[in-house]
Amino acid sequence: MILVYVETSAEGIQEVSLETVTFARTLSEAGNGVPIDAVVVGPAPNDLSTELASYGVRNVHHASGDDFDLFSGAATASAVIAARQVAGSVVVMAGGTNRGNEVVARVATRLDVPMAANVVSFHGLSPFVVTRQVVGGAALEEMRLGKRPAVFSVAGHAVEPVPAETPGAGSIVPLAVDLAPEDLLGRVTSVEGADTDDADSLKSARVVVGAGRGAGGPDGFGDVIELAELLGGTLGVSRVVTSLGWRPHHEQVGQTGSRISPEVYIPCGISGAIQHWAGCASSKVILAINTDAEAPMMTKATYAVVGDMHEVVPAINEEIRRRRG
Amino acid sequence: MTDVLVCVKRVPDFSGEVLLTEDAQSADARFVGYTMSNHDQCAVELGVQVAAATDGQVTVLSIGTADSVEQLRSALGVGATAAVLVEADPVALGPADVAHEIAQVVSERDYGLVLLGNDAADSGDFQVGIRLGHELSRPVVTGVQTLSVDGDTVSARADGPDGREKYSVPLPAVVTVMEGGVEPRYPTITGRMKAKKVEVENRSLSREPVGSGRVKLTLPPPTPTNAEVLGEGPETAKVVVDLLQKLGVTR
Ligand SMILES: Cc1cc2nc3c(=O)[nH]c(=O)nc-3n(C[C@H](O)[C@H](O)[C@H](O)COP(=O)(O)OP(=O)(O)OC[C@H]3O[C@@H](n4cnc5c(N)ncnc54)[C@H](O)[C@@H]3O)c2cc1C
Ligand SMILES: Nc1ncnc2c1ncn2[C@@H]1O[C@H](COP(=O)(O)O)[C@@H](O)[C@H]1O
């Protein structure tokens, strides 16, 4: 049996968990149809069963109650291990979020087996060999998982989430977990929603204007911010910009920042390193502005303008204002 | 007083192009040089802050080639006061090996708090901190951006899926750090001078490594290039705004 740790939030099942279940189905097919079970820990959305059933899940092991209301990595791992014992799984997987990676790392550690983070594909079941992203996706590693269960996380966007042709039962099975006192030591004590609004507006923006090292310094963002305002959009930046302290981290786009999917992304002075690309690749249209016509962002974009962002962007702003009169 | 151990890994500087060594076992840093991961840099910064606030000391630890002294010195330059190098061939080590070596050092001394990066910039295993906590039977909190120590408790904040999460964990503990909460400081001249004088303690591996299961590294196929070049310089503004209008994002 294949066990998938499914992450849920107030809004429902996380996209990456549905991607992971989809990945699990290809694994199941290669293994002559071994069933897929899910484990959900803590408060769950109402349509949990229906949605997971449509993705081909057989049983949904659900651990709930006071101990699981707030996240604890150790308690969650105990729940996953308990579900694995009930169902006798040979594979344990999760989506490659920080949380998913944490949970599978804890499960692998407790079971004394290896763990592969951010897997994109698998080749062969015995030996179980996977390919995973390293260096934020700039390189791939072929890795052997030599012990059972095979424990790994699936990189975000590695597969499209697709419902199954034949749905599963999706039966909710209450999961009893024997927690040790240590399981609750490292537990979240409170969650504040407010401060993530900024990153949320970046993720849902129709237009994002990006700025990288080409901005030149903390004072180099005036024009791009103006362009973002003119287009009713938001500013997004590269990691160089946040690392240098020019702009706050919640504005960062990429592997270790937000993943955006606007109608139009306008990266200015951003080279387009793969870790940045990981966060903006699902933009519908990319219009890159860069002095270097050969920069990866310029060749991968839909449209490119060669030039100094400090000349091109003000000219665009001016033209927009002129047409609006 | 909280004595802190911060674990830092020497990694290739990936701000440029990523190349692989001929044996496909690691990234080739010949042309790009080496650095410390952003997460590890933030862990050093938090360690220095905690030590300063509690009159404690910061020790930095790296496991790798003798050249990792460079990363240890840069941490010494910003406020760490002692450094330990476990010399080993990094290609032979897996996350369980690294955790085991760190655990040896911790169990010999009294570090109330061990800080690591959430994930290494090169191997991205997301697990050394967790394996370490397990080996030491200590609680682990991951992905922390800011933290402070008050008596026997470490309070930490992390960016979770539903917002800012707070943790409050009894010491001794292991915490893994994510960039974004603090600005790593730059070394001062006196800091650099002090760093040079510190004697780095050398150790060797305590056991035969089990390895990482790595078969080989490859590079992903390049994304197809199909950009339409609209033009050069500020004169393109008109064409750009025509396009933005066509795309329906400006009037
Ligand atoms: C594990 C890991 C995770 C990472 N996560 C992220 C992430 O989440 N997000 C991210 O962005 N990066 C991330 N990175 C870093 C990434 O590898 C790059 O270093 C970074 O994206 C480069 O930022 P940049 O494009 O602003 O700077 P540079 O690469 O220095 O590029 C600057 C660009 O600006 C152009 N330019 C200069 N002056 C001008 C001008 N006046 N007008 C126009 N163009 C100009 C240059 O031609 C160049 O193309 C990560 C790296 C690792 C190893
Ligand atoms: N060779 C090493 N030496 C010192 N610390 C390390 C080493 N490898 C990993 N670490 C620490 O463990 C963190 C997580 O690494 P990983 O689990 O491999 O992604 C890193 O950010 C470092 O803080």
The answer to whether residue B14 scores a pLDDT higher than 90 is no
pLDDT digits (tens, 9 = 90+) for A18-33: 999 999 999 999 998 9
Which of A249, A285, A304 shows the shortest C-beta gap to B230?
A304
The protein residue with its alpha carbon nearest to ligand 1, atom 27, reads: A213
Record the tokens describing residue B149, joined without a space.
């120590």
Look over chain A and give the mean of its residue pLDDT values, rounded to a whole number.
94
Q: Do A138 and B140 touch (CB under 8 A)?
A: no
Q: Give every CB contact of residue A56 below 8 A, 6+ residues apart in sequence.
A: A21, A25, A28, A36, A163, A164, A166, A167, A168
What's the rounded Cα separation, in Å, for the pair B125 and B66? 22
Pocket of ligand 1 (CB under 6 A): A 135-136, 212-214, 238-241, 252-257, 269-271, 273, 275-276, 279, 290-292, 295, 308-310; B 14-15, 121
What's the rounded Cα separation, in Å, for the pair A265 and A272? 12
Q: How confident is the model at residue A11 (pLDDT cuts 50, 70, 90)?
A: confident
The answer to whether residue B212 sits within a structural domain is: no
- For residue B214, what pLDDT is reported? 97
- For residue B221, what pLDDT is reported? 85
pLDDT digits (tens, 9 = 90+) for A209-245: 999 999 999 999 999 999 999 999 999 999 999 988 8
pTM for the full predicted model: 0.92
Chain A residues whose CB is inside 8 A of the B120 CB are: none
Tokens 């008596």 correspond to B151
**Domain boundaries along the sequence of chain A:** 2-184, 198-324
The answer to whether residue B31 scores a pLDDT higher than 90 is no
- For residue A194, what pLDDT is reported? 52
The answer to whether residue B37 scores a pLDDT higher than 70 is yes
A55: left (phi over 0), alpha (psi -120 to 50) or beta: alpha
User: Which amino acid makes up residue A249?
Assistant: H
Mean pLDDT across A48-61:
97
Find the largest Cα–Cα distance for chain B.
Answer: 68
- Substitution candidate for ligand 2 out of B5, B7, B174 with most atoms within 8 A of CB: B7
The answer to whether residue B220 sits within a structural domain is: no
Percent residues over pLDDT 90 in chain B: 87
Coil/strand/helix, residue A180: coil
The answer to whether residue B219 sits within a structural domain is: no
- The torsion angle over the Cα atoms of residues B98, B104, B106 and B109, rounded to 10 degrees, is -150
Record the tokens describing residue A141, joined without a space.
């590693």
Q: How confident is the model at residue A255 (pLDDT cuts 50, 70, 90)?
A: confident
Find the largest Cα–Cα distance for chain A.
Answer: 69
What's the rounded Cα separation, in Å, for the pair A64 and A8? 13
Mean pLDDT across A145-173:
95
Record the tokens describing residue A278, joined without a space.
């990981």
- The 10 Å Cβ neighbour count of residue B229 is 15
Q: Do A206 and B249 touch (CB under 8 A)?
A: yes
Mean pLDDT across B158-166:
88
Q: β-strands A234-237, A207-211: how paired?
A: parallel
Q: How far is the CA of A217 from the centre of ligand 2 (A)?
A: 31
Instruction: Look at A265-274, B22-31, B60-69 and tell me which has the smallest mean pLDDT.
Output: B22-31
The answer to whether residue B232 sits within a structural domain is: no
- For residue A126, what pLDDT is reported? 84
- For residue A198, what pLDDT is reported? 66
Record the tokens describing residue B111, joined without a space.
């570090």
Q: Do B250 and A137 touch (CB under 8 A)?
A: no
Please tell me the number of Cα atoms within 13 Å of A97 on its side-chain side. Answer: 22
Give how far the C-alpha of residue B124 lies from the chain's centroid of Cα atoms, to the nearest Å. Answer: 10
What's the rounded Cα separation, in Å, for the pair A287 and B229? 10
**CA-wise closest residue to B164 among A136, A52, A200:** A200
DSSP assignment string, B156-171 = EEEEETTEEEEEEEES
What's the rounded Cα separation, in Å, for the pair A172 and B235? 62
Provide the angle, in degrees to the nearest 10, between the axes of the packed helices A309-324 and A222-230: 30
The answer to whether residue B91 scores a pLDDT higher than 80 is yes
Q: Do A105 and B131 touch (CB under 8 A)?
A: yes
Q: Give every CB contact of residue A181 below 8 A, 6+ residues apart in sequence.
A: none
Q: Do B18 and A274 touch (CB under 8 A)?
A: yes
Percent residues over pLDDT 90 in chain A: 82
What Å distances lie between residue B187 and B10, B43, B77, B184, B191, CA to CA? 18, 15, 5, 10, 6
Peptide bond into B220 cis (omega under 30): no
Q: Do B234 and A304 touch (CB under 8 A)?
A: no
The answer to whether residue B15 scores a pLDDT higher than 80 is no
Chain B residues whose CB is inside 8 A of the A141 CB are: 123, 214-218
Q: Report the atom number in ligand 1 closest to the C-alpha of A272.
A: 25
Record the tokens describing residue A318, joined without a space.
């001016």
Query: In chain B, how many domains are there?
Result: 1
CATH superfamily, domain A2-184, is HUPs (3.40.50.620)
Q: How confident is the model at residue B18 (pLDDT cuts 50, 70, 90)?
A: confident
- Per DSSP, which regions of chain B are E strands? 4-7, 10-12, 34-36, 58-64, 82-87, 113-117, 140-150, 153-160, 163-170, 173-177, 201-204, 214-218, 228-232
The answer to whether residue B240 scores a pLDDT higher than 60 is yes
Asked if residues A173 and A129 have their Cβ atoms less than 8 Å apart, the reply is no
pLDDT digits (tens, 9 = 90+) for A283-307: 999 999 999 999 999 999 999 999 9
The answer to whether residue B117 scores a pLDDT higher than 90 is yes
What's the rounded Cα separation, in Å, for the pair B63 and B85? 6
Kindly report the backbone phi and psi dihedral angles of residue B45, in degrees, each rounded to the nearest multiple of 5, phi listed first: -60, -45
Q: Which residue of A has its CA nearest to B210?
A: A114
- For residue A15, what pLDDT is reported? 87
Coil/strand/helix, residue B49: helix
Give the Cα-Cα-Cα angle A218, A223, A227 (nearest 5 degrees): 130
For residue A26, what is the DSSP state? H
Q: Which residue of A has its CA nearest to B167?
A: A188
Give the Cα-Cα-Cα angle B66, B70, B72 (nearest 5 degrees): 95
- Substitution candidate for ligand 1 out of B15, B18, B118, B159 with most atoms within 8 A of CB: B15
The answer to whether residue B226 sits within a structural domain is: no
Record the tokens describing residue B44, joined without a space.
């050093």
- For residue A197, what pLDDT is reported? 61
Q: Give every CB contact of residue B190 below 8 A, 6+ residues apart in sequence.
A: none
Chain B residues whose CB is inside 8 A of the A274 CB are: 18, 220
Q: Do A316 and B127 touch (CB under 8 A)?
A: no
CATH number of the domain enclosing B65: 3.40.50.620
Q: β-strands B140-150, B153-160: how paired?
A: antiparallel
Q: In which domain, by residue range, is B92 found?
A: 4-204
What Å distances lie between residue A287 and A113, A208, A305, B249, CA to CA? 45, 10, 8, 13
The answer to whether residue A252 scores a pLDDT higher than 80 is yes
Q: How confident is the model at residue A256 (pLDDT cuts 50, 70, 90)?
A: confident
Chain A residues whose CB is inside 8 A of the B214 CB are: 141-143
**CA-wise closest residue to A251 among A291, A293, A198:** A198
Tokens 């690294």 correspond to B98
User: Which amino acid makes up residue A97?
Assistant: T
The answer to whether residue A272 scores a pLDDT higher than 70 is yes
The answer to whether residue A196 scores a pLDDT higher than 60 is no
Query: Does domain A198-324 bear CATH number 3.40.50.1220?
Result: yes
The shortest C-alpha distance from B121 to chain A (Å) reads 6
Tokens 């960039």 correspond to B179
Interface predicted TM-score (ipTM) of this complex, two decimals? 0.94
Mean pLDDT across B240-245:
97
What's the rounded Cα separation, in Å, for the pair B111 and B56? 10
**Ligand that comes closest to the CA of residue A98:** 2
The answer to whether residue A123 scores a pLDDT higher than 80 is yes
- For residue B135, what pLDDT is reported? 98
Cα dihedral sign for B7, B9, B13, B17? negative
Mean pLDDT across A62-71:
96
**CA-wise closest residue to B126 among A200, A106, A313, A305:** A106
pLDDT digits (tens, 9 = 90+) for B203-234: 999 999 999 999 999 998 887 788 999 999 99
Beta carbon of B9 within 6 Å of any ligand 2 atom: yes
